[in-house]
């Protein structure tokens, strides 16, 4: 493009009157460089002459420029050694938590498409123990190779192997386990994996569709899939002599190899980690809510352990006749208060009846314990208490469960 003849030529740079002379300055404005350069010659002509024939002003300019470059290089080296410049960031760890449109599971291929969308984030698990191998599933929840599964699957294992949806297998490291929630976190070093889409169990309703997806039985197999509904929320069930709190119950069958895998909603988002089936007339499966599972996983990764809140009391459920005697419809009767525990410090006493936690009504000790466990040590909670026929609100600051207590009663 030809220059505009009417456009004014840029005014050459002029140093202020009080600035040092050209000979004293160690830098020059770009507009001043033109006088120091030889005009371009014919093709093949070098920009600079032989060193002995360079103009004196050019040689004078080269020295400070070279000095500046050396100084800059030295400064850069010092900054790098001191950590003053950020090194290239490591690859970001991704945890997928988002919403997406639901699959139409009522269509003939609806559940199949949903399972196919979830399958890449499910791994098969084999834990080798002195008594034999255990098989199950796991859910990739972070792109840096972290997997959620069940504690009971890897308990006492000498080695753990996981197999991805593409048939590749890796030796997995146990990053920590939590028997109180039957959760464990595994990891594979230096491997990037596709994480599952994580949802939330907070919006679940009894009766809505739930799908259990398990890992294939072998490299050539397909995922196991069972569909059902949410049969219960906030369940407290004793399994193997240990209570599991705040569980989701589903009538979708949890097969042996699906244990530790995901329970997903209609969008394909993981809303829970399956744990096991409970025998009985209903044969319901138990699922750990994903909200709890993520909190447990974060603690295991960062601290290697999970701490629970402690209220420091024990009690019994009230039958209708005893409830009427204490002037309540329902609640739990305090039978013991731990000396110097949170409950005693908050003013709770034996024979008090706790009827609500944070205004949420309770009717059993298990419900009280479940609602307490939704908080963290150090949180302050309000309890609605009936004492001698009078209702009051008591504020209690929760402590960390002492080692001797183990998993927090209440």
CATH number of the domain that residue 366 is part of:
2.30.42.10
Q: Cα–Cα distance between 272 and 155 in angstroms, integer? A: 20
The overall average pLDDT reported for the chain is: 80
Q: What's the whole-number mean pLDDT along residues 267-288?
A: 85
Q: Indicate if 170 and 249 belong to the same structural domain.
A: yes
Q: What's the whole-number mean pLDDT along residues 274-279?
A: 80
Alpha helices in 52-109 (DSSP H): 56-82
Token code pair at residue 215: 């890992």
Note whether residue 265 is domain-resident. yes
Q: Point out the domain boundary residue: 88, 107, 135.
A: 88
Residue 380 in contact with residue 395, Cβ under 8 Å?
A: yes
Note whether residue 110 is domain-resident. yes
Q: Indicate if 379 and 332 belong to the same structural domain.
A: yes
40: pLDDT confidence band, cut at 50, 70 and 90? very low
Residue 333 in contact with residue 351, Cβ under 8 Å?
A: yes
Apex 262 CA angle, 256 and 265, nearest 5 = 130
| pLDDT tens column, 281-338 | 667 899 999 999 999 999 999 999 999 999 999 999 998 899 999 999 999 999 999 9
Q: Indicate if 300 and 160 belong to the same structural domain.
A: yes
Burial of residue 149 (number of CB atoms within 10 Å: 0-12, 13-18, 19+): buried
Q: What's the whole-number mean pLDDT along residues 267-286?
A: 83
What percentage of the chain reaches a pLDDT higher than 90? 54
CA distances from 303 to 147, 295, 315, 391 (A): 17, 12, 32, 40
Note whether residue 100 is domain-resident. yes
Those residues with Cβ within 8 angstroms of residue 363's Cβ, 6 or more apart along the chain or in another chain: 317, 318, 330, 331, 332
CB atoms within 10 A of CB 335: 12
Q: Indicate if 113 and 44 belong to the same structural domain.
A: no
- Which of the 8 DSSP states describes residue 220? T
What CATH number corresponds to the domain at position 108?
2.40.10.120
Q: Indicate if 74 and 155 belong to the same structural domain.
A: no
| Cβ burial 274-299 (10 Å sphere, 16+ → b, else e) | bbbbbeeeeebbbbbbbbbbbbbbeb
Q: Indicate if 204 and 347 belong to the same structural domain.
A: no
199: pLDDT confidence band, cut at 50, 70 and 90? very high
- Which of the 8 DSSP states describes residue 376? -
Q: Indicate if 83 and 147 belong to the same structural domain.
A: no
Q: What's the whole-number mean pLDDT along residues 7-28?
A: 45
Q: Indicate if 211 and 338 belong to the same structural domain.
A: no
Q: Is the pLDDT of residue 41 over 70?
A: no
Task: Determine which of 11-15, 94-98, 203-207, 271-275 has the lowest per-residue pLDDT on average.
Answer: 11-15
Q: Is the pLDDT of residue 61 over 70?
A: no
CB atoms within 10 A of CB 133: 11
The model carries a pTM of 0.72
| pLDDT tens column, 176-191 | 999 999 999 999 989 9
Residue 291 in contact with residue 200, Cβ under 8 Å?
A: yes
Q: What's the whole-number mean pLDDT along residues 222-251?
A: 89
Q: Cα–Cα distance between 393 and 15 in angstroms, integer? A: 79
Q: Is the pLDDT of residue 3 over 80?
A: no
Q: Indicate if 176 and 324 belong to the same structural domain.
A: no
Q: What's the whole-number mean pLDDT along residues 363-378?
A: 92
Note whether residue 407 is domain-resident. no
- Domain span including residue 370: 309-400
- The torsion angles phi and psi of 365, rounded to 5 degrees, stand at -65, -35
Residue 239 in contact with residue 261, Cβ under 8 Å?
A: no
Token code pair at residue 242: 């240990």
Q: What is the pLDDT of residue 111?
A: 86
Note whether residue 5 is domain-resident. no
Note whether residue 3 is domain-resident. no
Q: Indicate if 294 and 320 belong to the same structural domain.
A: no
Q: Cα–Cα distance between 359 and 388 in angstroms, integer? A: 20
* Strand pairing category for 122-129 and 360-361: unpaired
Note whether residue 409 is domain-resident. no
The dihedral through the CA atoms of 369, 375, 377, 378 has a sign that is: negative
Q: What is the pLDDT of residue 113?
A: 87
Q: Point out the domain boundary residue: 88, 110, 145.
A: 88
Q: Indicate if 321 and 295 belong to the same structural domain.
A: no
CB atoms within 10 A of CB 214: 27
Q: Point out the domain boundary residue: 306, 327, 358.
A: 306
Maximum C-alpha span of the chain: 114
The dihedral through the CA atoms of 202, 302, 369, 232 has a sign that is: positive
Q: What's the whole-number mean pLDDT along residues 72-82?
A: 49
User: How many domains are contained in the chain?
Assistant: 3
Looking at per-residue pLDDT, the higher value among 110 and 127 belongs to 127
Q: Indicate if 276 and 394 belong to the same structural domain.
A: no
Return the bridge partners of 171, or none: 161
Note whether residue 164 is domain-resident. yes
Residue given tokens 């739930």 in the structure block: 210
């Amino acid at each position: 493009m030809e220059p505009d003849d009417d456009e004014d030529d840029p005014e050459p740079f002029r140093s202020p009157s009080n600035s040092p002379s050209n000979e004293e300055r160690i830098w020059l404005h770009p507009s001043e460089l033109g006088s120091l350069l030889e005009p371009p010659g014919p093709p093949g002509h070098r920009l600079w002459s032989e060193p002995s024939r360079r103009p004196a002003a050019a040689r004078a300019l080269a020295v400070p420029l070279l000095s500046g470059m050396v100084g800059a290089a030295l400064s850069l080296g010092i900054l790098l050694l001191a950590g003053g410049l950020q090194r290239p960031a490591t690859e970001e760890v991704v945890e997928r938590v988002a919403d997406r449109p639901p699959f139409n599971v009522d269509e003939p291929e609806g559940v199949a498409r949903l399972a196919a969308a979830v399958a890449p984030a499910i791994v098969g698990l084999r834990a080798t123990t002195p008594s034999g191998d255990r098989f199950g599933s796991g859910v990739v929840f972070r792109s840096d190779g972290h997997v959620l599964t069940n504690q009971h699957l890897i308990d006492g294992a000498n080695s753990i192997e996981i197999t991805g949806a593409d048939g590749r297998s890796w030796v997995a490291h146990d990053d920590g386990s939590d028997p109180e929630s039957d959760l464990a976190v595994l990891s594979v070093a230096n491997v990037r994996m596709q994480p599952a889409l994580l949802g939330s169990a907070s919006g679940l309703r009894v009766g809505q569709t739930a799908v259990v997806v398990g890992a294939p039985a072998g490299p050539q197999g397909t995922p196991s899939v069972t569909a059902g509904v949410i049969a219960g929320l906030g369940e407290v069930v004793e399994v193997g002599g240990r209570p599991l709190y705040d569980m989701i119950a589903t009538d979708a069958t949890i097969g042996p190899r699906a244990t530790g895998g995901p329970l997903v909603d209609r969008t394909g988002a993981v809303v829970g980690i399956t744990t096991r089936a409970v025998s009985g007339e209903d044969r319901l499966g138990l699922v750990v809510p994903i909200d709890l599972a993520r909190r447990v996983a974060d603690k295991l990764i960062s601290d290697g352990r999970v701490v629970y809140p402690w209220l420091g009391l024990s009690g019994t459920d009230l039958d209708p006749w005893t409830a009427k005697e204490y002037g309540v419809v329902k609640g739990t009767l305090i039978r013991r208060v731990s000396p110097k525990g949170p409950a005693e410090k908050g003013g709770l006493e034996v024979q008090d009846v706790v009827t609500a936690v944070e205004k949420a009504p309770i009717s059993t000790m298990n419900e009280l314990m479940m609602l307490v466990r939704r908080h963290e040590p150090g949180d302050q909670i309000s309890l609605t208490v009936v004492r001698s026929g009078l209702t009051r609100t008591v504020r209690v600051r929760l402590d960390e469960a002492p080692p001797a207590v183990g998993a927090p009663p209440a």
